Amino acid sequence: MEQKLVIGIDIGGTKIDAGIIDSSGKILKKTRIYTKAHEGLDAVVQRIYDAIELVAADSKASIRGIGIGAPGQVDVKNGIVIFAPNMGWKDVELRRLIHERYKLPVEIENDANCGALAEAKFGAGSGANSLIWITVGTGIGGGIIISGKLMQGAGFAGGEIGHMTIKEKGPVCGCGNKGCLEALAAGPAIIHQIRDKIIAGTQTSILKIVDDDLNKITVEIAAKAADMGDNLSHKELNRAGKYLGIGVANLANILNPEVIILGGGVMEVAGHHLLKIIKNTVQNRALSQARANLRIELARLGNDAGLIGASLLI
Amino acid sequence: MEQKLVIGIDIGGTKIDAGIIDSSGKILKKTRIYTKAHEGLDAVVQRIYDAIELVAADSKASIRGIGIGAPGQVDVKNGIVIFAPNMGWKDVELRRLIHERYKLPVEIENDANCGALAEAKFGAGSGANSLIWITVGTGIGGGIIISGKLMQGAGFAGGEIGHMTIKEKGPVCGCGNKGCLEALAAGPAIIHQIRDKIIAGTQTSILKIVDDDLNKITVEIAAKAADMGDNLSHKELNRAGKYLGIGVANLANILNPEVIILGGGVMEVAGHHLLKIIKNTVQNRALSQARANLRIELARLGNDAGLIGASLLI
């Protein structure tokens, strides 16, 4: 029997992953290239072609289609990236471009939504009918599945969980608003907070790890320092975890999903610290009926969620 | 041709409305009784029977079914009111009780969800595929429609918009959490805030209207005082409107609906003050793509939304 294979592509501001994925969600072959978005649309699209041809070289005949996860606001119906600020893209007809070259079915979806699809099918949300996927990294994004279907939003702009105000007079966010979850709990917020405290004179073992170079501080280093008993790191991770917990509690109250899954770079390196604080905060802040059967889990598919989710579009 | 009529029932903590509704959403006959929930379940159910029999007296033959909106957490699938604190109800098999007596199709749904259904079909959300209904009164509740369907939540506990934290260290809410939208912007929050300011010495024309009796202050009186130029009332309504605007902006960012409709007692008497503040706040706080095509509207069906929505369950 012919195997049914799909090419999954996960386009990000820094790198593009492409892979061959089978119907069980297994990645048979994978490649990664740098996006170099500053070189312009044509150059990036050419690199996408290169990545596709590289991974598909040995299995061209069995490829059923190409699924693409792209950042930003994606018009799923018409296959257009409406707006992706970190790519410099506006109204890019990505589905048409890829389809015209390979004459295969092509589908395109927001990258966070692809992550949600993948975790729902093969990851921490397996079996769940309603699920929220939260990715915590440089920013905070999300994908929402209700009754087994992605909630895209009327203008394909839904799931912007990171821009929920949870602290009326909180810090200014990149989006212009104040007190967004992203401005309080994403990677840069944690790092800035630690840096500010060090500058203000707080003692911490982080300084030794980074050779007194504040620019070298990462969430991963903070998590390691916390593991070794560093007070400042512990406190600042708790702080971020508390804000993430407020965000999760709000989503539980509004949408009452079965599972809320947290992934992304920050959760990967600091999830063991953050998850228990998040759960405690939800316990204290969400309505009892909203948290009664709620599962709060770490993502299981890591960096491959986007790729695998993209393959599920076909 | 035989007319298709439905009995709609809207059960609340204070009163129960029952009516005969035709397929165009028109209420042909209506009655209202006091709930007197303290008299216990049997007494309340008897009063529901009385209300049904009163409105149905002249049109028994054309009644196709009975739709019921009930407060609290409603298991729509099994027709059970799981938990309704203001009724003192727990696991009440309301659908079975009503069905056994009248041998007609009976459906039951959360009251705020009924409001959402009614406004989506016959009110301010007519024609919209995705819609959020927010009711602002003694509490703040909501109903969410996505892709034309009510979002009930995995445990029938969704739509609890009023318990979204928007001010991390805000006032304590009835639910135990801090900084809930309900604790900041529902009727009692507005009234308490005005009272506290008066006690602290703020001058206001409200005192004349209530004959110096602070217990007589209502949101309606505050709205009238604001209309006549009262500074305190104006300021406190603006404050509530700003918080409601943060809640609306959060929902727009998370769910990107076509329409957000605000109704309930507070909006009915003070909507003309609150709506413009809400819209301004959303303009300042929501992502541009989430507010690009968003309509924010006052409810059109008033107190009848629950009744009409209940009839749509059949």
Do both A253 and A203 map to the same domain? yes
Most A-contacting residue of B152, B156, B165, B172 (CB-CB within 10 A), to test interface: B165
Residue B290 to residue A175, Cβ atoms within 8 A: no
Do both A152 and A237 map to the same domain? yes
Do both A197 and A109 map to the same domain? no
Residues B157/A256, Cβ–Cβ less than 8 Å: yes
Residue A287 to residue B175, Cβ atoms within 8 A: yes
Do both B27 and B106 map to the same domain? yes
| B147, B178, B254 member nearest A159 (Cβ) | B254
Which of B162-167's residues contact partners 24+ apart within 8 Å by CB, and which partners?
A: B162/B186, B163/A253, B163/A286, B163/A287, B164/A250, B164/A253, B164/A254, B164/B247, B164/B250, B165/A166, B165/A246, B165/A249, B165/A250, B165/A285, B166/A165, B166/A166, B166/A168, B166/B243, B166/B246, B166/B247, B166/B250, B167/A167, B167/A168, B167/B243
The Cα A159–Cα A148 span in angstroms is 15
pLDDT at B2: 58
Do both B92 and B140 map to the same domain? no
Residues B82/B73, Cβ–Cβ less than 8 Å: yes
Do both B102 and B154 map to the same domain? no
**pLDDT tens, position by position, for chain B (314 residues)?**
456 899 999 999 889 999 999 999 999 999 999 999 999 999 999 999 999 999 999 887 899 999 999 999 999 999 999 999 889 999 999 999 999 999 999 999 999 999 999 999 999 999 899 999 999 999 999 999 999 999 999 999 999 999 999 999 999 999 999 999 999 999 999 999 999 999 999 999 999 999 999 999 999 999 999 999 999 999 999 999 999 999 999 999 999 999 999 999 999 999 999 999 999 999 999 999 999 999 999 999 999 999 999 999 99
CA distance A88 to chain B (A): 16
CA distance B136 to chain A (A): 15
Q: In sequence order, what are the beta bridge partners of B34?
A: B15
Report chain B residues whose CB lies below 8 A from the CB of A248. Answer: none
Q: Which two tokens stand for residue A296?
A: 């709060």
Residues A267/A303, Cβ–Cβ less than 8 Å: no
Do both B157 and B244 map to the same domain? yes
Do both A103 and A158 map to the same domain? no
pLDDT at B4: 85
Residue A71: which of A120, A23, A37, A105 has the closest Cα? A37
Residue B158 to residue A254, Cβ atoms within 8 A: yes
| B161, B165, B249 member nearest A285 (Cβ) | B165
Residue A164 to residue B130, Cβ atoms within 8 A: no
Domain count of the fold of chain A: 2
Do both A253 and A273 map to the same domain? yes
Q: Give B87-99 pLDDT, tens digit per residue.
A: 999 999 999 999 9
pLDDT at B85: 87
Most B-contacting residue of A250, A251, A281, A284 (CB-CB within 10 A), to test interface: A250
pLDDT at A85: 87
For residue B161, give the DSSP letter: G
Most A-contacting residue of B168, B182, B243, B251 (CB-CB within 10 A), to test interface: B168
Q: Provide, rounded to the nearest whole percent, the portion of chain B with pLDDT above 90.
A: 94
Do both A284 and A150 map to the same domain? yes
Report chain A residues whose CB lies below 8 A from the CB of B156. Answer: 256
Q: What is the pTM of this model?
A: 0.96
Q: Domain holding A186: CATH number?
A: 3.30.420.40
Supply the range of the domain harboring residue B33: 5-118+304-311
Residue B256 to residue A164, Cβ atoms within 8 A: no
Q: In sequence order, what are the beta bridge partners of A132?
A: A144, A260
pLDDT at A1: 47
Report chain B residues whose CB lies below 8 A from the CB of A82. Answer: 289
Do both B161 and B281 map to the same domain? yes
Residue A157 to residue B287, Cβ atoms within 8 A: yes
**pLDDT tens, position by position, for chain A (314 residues)?**
456 899 999 999 889 999 999 999 999 999 999 999 999 999 999 999 999 999 999 887 899 999 999 999 999 999 999 999 889 999 999 999 999 999 999 999 999 999 999 999 999 999 899 999 999 999 999 999 999 999 999 999 999 999 999 999 999 999 999 999 999 999 999 999 999 999 999 999 999 999 999 999 999 999 999 999 999 999 999 999 999 999 999 999 999 999 999 999 999 999 999 999 999 999 999 999 999 999 999 999 999 999 999 999 99
The Cα A153–Cα B226 span in angstroms is 37
Do both B149 and B203 map to the same domain? yes
Amino acid at A155: G
Where helices occur in chain B by DSSP H, the ranges are 41-56, 94-102, 111-122, 181-185, 187-199, 206-209, 219-227, 231-255, 265-285, 288-291, 305-311
